[in-house]
Amino acid sequence: MSIGGINTLSTLNSTQKAINSSIQKIATGSKHPSASYGPSDYAIVQRMNSNIGAIGQSNQNTQTANSMLNVAAGATENVVSSLSSLKEQLLKAANGTNSDSDRAALQNSVNQTISSINQTALGATYNGMQLLDGSQSVTVAGADGYETVNLGNLSAEGLGLTDSQGNSTIDLTDQDSISSALDTVNSALETAMGQATDIGAAQQGMEYQSANYVTQQENLYDASSTLDDTDIAAEVTKLKSANVQQQFALHATQLQMHNRASVLSLLQQ
């Protein structure tokens, strides 16, 4: 084979590689569709993409946990409202103008309020999990680690409003029992308000963290795009140029093969 033929084959090989490279970059939109296009840059891009995915999932986890806490927060606010109403009932019962029948009627109202508090706390569920019976905590898995929000027991028993058998501990029989009941309700109210405050603080933190995740993800997208996004117009131009060079090389090869055949034909005559 002549030197010209070798050069032509070399040109064909190089142009085919250029064509394949451009096609792959255009198809994937990436300057580094595989490690063969630059091991270090490829590794950086893949690490960025992994971080983008992790941060996106972290943000989703934060939002899901926030939705869970919304349920707990709503129920807690209702418990606080019911306890405030319960305290008003006790103060009304403590007034010396009440007769025995008045206190008996107030006791029925108090028992109904306690039952409502219990139903609210035990009815606060998310994805089949009870949130305010003292058995649950919310763990948020993020790219930077874990955060746990503990949820207390706001059931009637957990707040000391009933005993373990479900019997009311709030007794309006006389002034001494009413005074003791007020202490119990005040303590329950402090517990419920503390729970509401903790949930609110946790939700504020999650909203901040979610916004932070969004910013991190946007920055990583920008960095990854700058490093790895293919300039489609430039690659199309390269592809066209490589195709033209390939056609010239193919034409040159065909001419060489034709000339060689002609020489061999003459030699055989």
Give 174-227 pLDDT, tens digit per residue: 889 999 999 999 999 999 999 999 999 999 988 888 888 888 888 887 776 676
Residues 181 and 255 in one domain: no
Residues 115 and 12 in one domain: no
Q: How confident is the model at residue 253 (pLDDT cuts 50, 70, 90)?
A: low
Residues 252 and 174 in one domain: no
Residue 180 lies in a domain: yes
Residues 154 and 258 in one domain: no
The mean-pLDDT minimum among 4-18, 45-59, 119-133 falls in 4-18
Residue 31 lies in a domain: no
- Confirm if 228 and 44 have CB atoms less than 8 A apart: no
Residue 130 phi/psi, 5° resolution?
-75, 135
Residue 62 lies in a domain: yes
Residues 154 and 183 in one domain: yes
Please compute the mean of the pLDDT values over residues 13-23 and round it to a whole number: 64
Q: Is residue 141 helix, strand or coil?
A: strand
In the chain, the number of structural domains is: 2
Residues 143 and 238 in one domain: no
Residues 78 and 169 in one domain: yes
Residues 217 and 238 in one domain: no
Give 89-108 pLDDT, tens digit per residue: 999 999 888 888 988 999 99
Residue 193 lies in a domain: yes
- Between helix 175-228 and helix 39-94 the angle, nearest 10°, is 160
Q: Rounded to an integer, what distance in angstroms lies between the CA atom of residue 205 and that of residue 203?
A: 5
Residue 28 lies in a domain: no
- Confirm if 40 and 123 have CB atoms less than 8 A apart: no
Residue 32 lies in a domain: no
Residue 79 lies in a domain: yes
Residue 66 lies in a domain: yes
CATH assignment of the domain containing 180: 1.20.1330.10
B/e letters for 119-154, b = 16+ CB within 10 Å, e = fewer, are ebbbebbbeeebbbbbebebebebeeeebebebbbb
Model's pTM, two decimal places?
0.70
From 119, 98, 83, select the one nearest 191 (Cα to Cα). 83
Residues 163 and 255 in one domain: no
Residues 262 and 212 in one domain: no
Neighbouring C-beta atoms of residue 58, cutoff 10 Å: 22
What stretches of the chain adopt beta strand conformation (E)? 125-126, 129-130, 137-142, 145-150
| Domain that includes residue 85, residue range | 47-226
The structure tokens listed for 83 are 């306890």
Residues 17 and 80 in one domain: no
Secondary element (H or E) of residue 74: helix 39-94
Residues 127 and 220 in one domain: yes
